[in-house]
């Protein structure tokens, strides 16, 4: 049945989009709090997943390995703030961006140096098998990933809008100097947000690692997050989710229905084109903040 197939592609695309959102969230968190586009997010995903499976390989039980990795990622985040970002306070955004490029290479090398280069399998106990809903196959794993992502987004959205710390983070993102002048401890704020980004990288690393195996290629999943960010806006957590859903569904439907007319394999460039079309209408992205500058 053609409509069933359409529905299957649509649902599959939406659920794939949730996985993209998960990676996009890490970018949004750091950009929101520091105005830095963190090029090293992919490397953090790899570092987190590789650390988790390597600790598990030592015979450590799942939950303890998760806890230890979380501690490691928070320490890594705090370390990045202390060593890389703190000396660059009040520097132009491009300087901070360049620093994260260097950080990316450093983390990729460090992960392989500490934990080795071997590929690891990762089973989270949720079978990546389909179940049949009226002829439409839906993956149990995708549903689980969507639930995890939904919970994460709801928690982070509440944190940013309802807590004092969250508001402080937003103030820092708007203007470092202004935030410091009203007594917001910039260094602590950055350390916290990089720690939280480390946690998000761990969640993304576990879910993507379970799907692709824990290997260097995990750094490439960020390629899927970039159009989501362009579309959803770099500063909006709900934007990362909505952007992910649109990109996921859009690219799958385009691949299946437009691909055959364009010799196939259009999934790589189509999401970027879709995002750029949105930008023509809303340059700040779907949920991005409008910048009004006095001159």
User: Which residues in this chain contact another protein in the complex, by CB under 8 A?
Assistant: 5, 8-9, 12-13, 16, 109, 112, 117-123, 127-130, 137, 139, 141-142, 210-217, 219-221, 223-224, 251-252, 255-256, 259, 263-268
Question: Least distance from C-beta 9 to another protein, angstroms?
Answer: 6
- Buried b / exposed e across 248-260, counting CB within 10 Å, b at 16+? bbbbbbbbbeebe
- Closer residue to another protein, CB minimum distance, 176 or 252: 252
- Closer residue to another protein, CB minimum distance, 6 or 159: 6
Question: Least distance from C-beta 225 to another protein, angstroms?
Answer: 11
Cα 178 to Cα 122: distance, rounded to the nearest angstrom: 45
- Closer residue to another protein, CB minimum distance, 15 or 189: 15
Q: Which helix (H) or strand (E) holds 178?
A: helix 176-181
Half-sphere exposure of 101 (CA within 13 A, CB side): 6
Question: Least distance from C-beta 56 to another protein, angstroms?
Answer: 14
Task: Give the list of residues 6+ apart from residue 36 with CB closer than 8 angstroms, or none.
Answer: 30, 85, 93, 96, 97, 100
* Token reading at 214: 């824990």
Residue in the structure block whose two tokens are 């993956």: 139
Question: Least distance from C-beta 72 to another protein, angstroms?
Answer: 21
Closest by Cα among 124, 104, 274, 275 to 204: 124
Half-sphere exposure of 244 (CA within 13 A, CB side): 30
Question: Least distance from C-beta 143 to another protein, angstroms?
Answer: 12
- Closer residue to another protein, CB minimum distance, 4 or 151: 4
- Closer residue to another protein, CB minimum distance, 104 or 219: 219
Question: Least distance from C-beta 266 to another protein, angstroms?
Answer: 7
DSSP annotation of 30 reads H
- Closer residue to another protein, CB minimum distance, 120 or 170: 120
Is-contact 197 29, C-beta < 8 A?
A: yes
């Amino acid at each position: 049945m053609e409509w069933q197939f359409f529905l299957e592609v649509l649902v599959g695309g939406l659920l794939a989009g949730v996985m993209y959102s998960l990676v996009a969230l890490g970018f949004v968190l750091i950009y929101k709090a520091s105005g830095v586009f963190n090029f090293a997010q992919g490397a953090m995903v790899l570092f987190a997943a590789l650390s988790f499976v390597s600790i598990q390989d030592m015979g450590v039980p799942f939950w303890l390995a998760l806890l230890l990795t979380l501690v490691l990622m928070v320490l890594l985040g705090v370390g990045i703030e202390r060593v890389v970002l703190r000396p660059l306070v009040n520097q132009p955004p491009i300087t901070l961006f360049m620093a994260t490029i260097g950080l990316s290479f450093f983390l990729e090398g460090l992960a392989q140096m500490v934990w080795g280069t071997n590929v690891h399998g990762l089973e989270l106990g949720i079978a990546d098998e389909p179940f049949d809903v009226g002829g439409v196959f839906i993956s149990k794993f995708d549903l689980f990933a969507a639930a995890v992502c939904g919970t994460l987004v709801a928690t982070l959205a509440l944190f940013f809008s309802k807590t004092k710390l969250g508001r402080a983070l937003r103030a820092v993102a708007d203007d470092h100097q202004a935030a410091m002048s009203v007594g917001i401890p910039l260094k602590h704020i950055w350390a916290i947000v990089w720690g939280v980004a480390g946690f998000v990288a761990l969640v993304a690393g576990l879910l993507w690692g379970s799907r692709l195996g824990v290997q260097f290629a995990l750094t490439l999943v960020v390629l899927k997050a970039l159009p989501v960010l362009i579309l959803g806006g770099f500063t909006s957590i709900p934007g990362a989710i909505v952007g992910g859903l649109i990109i996921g569904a859009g690219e799958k439907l385009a691949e299946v229905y437009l691909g055959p007319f364009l010799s196939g394999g259009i999934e790589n460039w189509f999401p970027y084109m879709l995002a750029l079309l949105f930008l023509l209408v809303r340059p700040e992205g779907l949920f991005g903040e409008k910048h009004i500058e006095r001159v």
